[in-house]
Amino acid sequence: MDGMCLMCGLEDKSIYHALFKCGGVKEIWDLWKECPTVIGAKNMDFSYLAFKLLDVGTPRDMELLVVIAWAIWHNRNLRVFEAINQRAEQVWNHAVSMLSDYKEAVKFCMLGPSDCEVSWKKPQVEVFKINTDGAIANEGRGSSIGVVIRDSRGEAVAALCRVLPGCFLMDEIEALTVKAGILLARELDLHQVIVESDSLSIVQRILAKDFSGGLGHIVHGILGWPISLNVMI
């Protein structure tokens, strides 16, 4: 079994098998409706596909190829090492939203310094704004979460900073940070709150009430409290 695919156990493990043949990946590639070439044709390896797309596709096609392949590989690791199962649509959406997040960030970085100043806006009277941010660390160090709650005058009414033991994915830590902010607001008995996170994918997931996968229970907990959500990069 040593040389067999860890996910399906049916074929030898290889990059070609993992990206194009292993169970479920075809459904992910099939979601790429505008793909200008055939994906997964016999013996077509990744570099051949990349050259083919350089020939017949657009730069956007090349970006999609790379980001979808990465998302498939990431999904495979989640499944094999963390027993997390994602549907084809989730893998696809993750890839596409990661690409759009990246493009937004690049656009943002290309603005002049004065345009880059993010203007934090005060909430309305009697409304509190919760700003959250999480960070993951490698090499066995803990991940950390940070929360600040401000009132309509812009003054901080509470803050929280915590190091969480263990390894988390970026989305997990961002979701946990949003949840920690909401719990802090609950402890303070604040009812009208706006949560502002810099994680577009988490905000989208909460707004879509997407309870699937390992983050489902966190999203469920977040939605147990009436909140407004913003993204602030």
We find the least distance from the C-beta atom of residue 22 to Zn ion, in angstroms, to be 3
Using the rule CB under 5 A, is 183 a contact of Zn ion? no
Of the pair 8, 223, the CB lying nearest Zn ion is at: 8
Residue 24 or 221 with smaller CB distance to Zn ion: 24
Least distance from Zn ion to the Cβ atom of residue 2, Å: 14
Do residues 13 and 3 make contact, with C-beta atoms less than 8 angstroms apart?
yes
- The residue type at 20: F
| 95 touches Zn ion (CB under 5 A) | no
5 lies in the binding site for Zn ion (CB under 5 A):
yes
Cβ count near 176 (within 10 Å): 22
Identify the residue among 19, 20, 22, 57 touching Zn ion (CB under 5 A): 22
Nearer to Zn ion, 22 or 202 (CB): 22
* 147 in contact with Zn ion (CB under 5 A): no
Q: Which is nearer to Zn ion, 22 or 173 (CB)?
A: 22
137-143, long-range: CB < 8 A, 24+ apart:
142/166, 143/167, 143/168, 143/173
Residue 149's Cβ-count burial label (10 Å; 0-12, 13-18, 19+) is buried
Looking at the Cβ atoms of 9 and 224, the one nearer to Zn ion is: 9
Q: Are 212 and 78 in contact (CB under 8 A)?
A: no
Query: Quick one: which H or E segment has residue 164?
Result: strand 156-164
Size of the site for Zn ion (CB under 5 A): 4
Neighbours of 148 (CB within 10 A): 18
Residues that bind Zn ion (CB under 5 A): 5, 7-8, 22
